Amino acid sequence: MSQFRSEEMNYIQLFIQNDAAHDTLHELGAVGAVQFKDLNTEKSAFQKMFVQDVRKCEDMLRIIRYLKESLDKEKMPERYSDAEPVSSLNQLHERLQDLEKEMKEHSTSYKQLLDQRRELTEHLQVLRNASKWFGQANRAGISMTAPSAPDEGVRVEMMSPLLDEAEGQTRRPPSMLGHIAGCIPTTNVHEFAVTLFRATRGNMHLKHEELNQAGPDETMKSVFIVYFSGERSRSKIDKICEAFAATRYSLPDSTGAQEQTEREVQERLSDLDVVVKRTEAYQRGKLSGISGSVDAWRDRVEREKGVCHTLNKFNYDVTH
């Protein structure tokens, strides 16, 4: 036999009982010596008898790919073993559907836990940074900056407390300054500062510091606190925070309340870390239980899909 030509082949015709067609094709497929001709070329794919079975196999292969991606994401070791015993393809489909539903619900819950942990971590950083910044707004000589470039700014010195936004009003004492604190993507900090300065006509004071991110895929963020005077300024700053994707966190006025809030957030974060670790362990245990069956399931479904494709090429006698 040449590499460009096949062995001599004979054109034959098979007559198979309907009940035995599936098993017969399965055995012939294992031999790999028969090529079938499509006798239903005039029919569309939706008119063929086993189209639903082919779709079911495609759905199972989709679920198996999802499970395989989950195993790869968790870096589970690959191993091949006999699949979990299932008596029929319908049972395997139900098994895979249940696994997909459970894994997706678990992934959603796990993502929510990670989001809660991220928010608590950011809130804790806000409280810790605010403890060293908070006293600066109560001093009389606040230095305001109107930034014109990311690394430089025009200094505007104010040797007295912040003024109300409306000109000509009586100056307020430092204790009446308001503040808004939170976290913002680091890439937005410069535009955020410029917009704040213009919106309040310089009647604010911004402090920010970049956070140390734990994960390589996380967006770099910075902690910020804005001191201002007047409710109109608060309304403007709230809207600017929303526009720049800044997350605001509660920050009590007094030092004692800040320390109490910090302790409460730290306790909640510790409890959440325990839940996250248990959730990760459950997920890895679930994936470990099916890691040896995924490849076997895929092989079985692909063979079944091939058999159904070939059955769709047959011409069926419906007179008996």
Alpha helices in 163-293 (DSSP H): 189-199, 231-243, 255-290
* Top-confidence residue, 147 or 180: 180
Is residue 196 within 8 A of residue 240, CB to CB? The reply is yes
d(CA 11, CA 25): 17
**Cα atoms in the 13 Å half-sphere on the side-chain side of 81:** 11
Residue 207: pLDDT band (50, 70, 90) is confident
Indicate the average pLDDT of the chain.
Answer: 78
- H helices of the chain, in order, are 18-31, 51-73, 89-133, 189-199, 231-243, 255-290, 294-311
- Residue 315 CA to residue 248 CA, distance in Å, equals 68
CB 180 within 8 A of CB 239: no
What is the separation, in whole angstroms, between the first and last Cα of the chain?
A: 43
Q: How sure is the predictor about 35, in pLDDT bands with cuts at 50, 70 and 90?
A: confident
Average pLDDT on 189-211 reads: 87
What is the rounded CA–CA span in Å between residue 225 and residue 217?
25
Of 112-121, 161-170, 179-188, 195-204, minimum mean pLDDT range: 161-170
Residue whose token pair is 């699949």: 83
Contact (CB, 8 A) for 93 and 60:
yes
Q: Is the pTM of this model over 0.75?
A: no
CA-to-CA distance for 178 and 214, rounded, in angstroms?
A: 31
| Mean pLDDT, residues 285-297 taken together | 86
Other CB atoms within a 10 A radius of the CB of residue 141 amount to 10
pLDDT at 149 over 60: no
User: Which range is least confidently modeled, 73-82, 108-117, 193-202, 230-239?
Assistant: 73-82
Over range 179-191, report the average pLDDT.
89
* pLDDT tens by residue, 226-279: 888 888 888 899 999 999 888 898 888 777 888 888 899 999 999 999 999 999
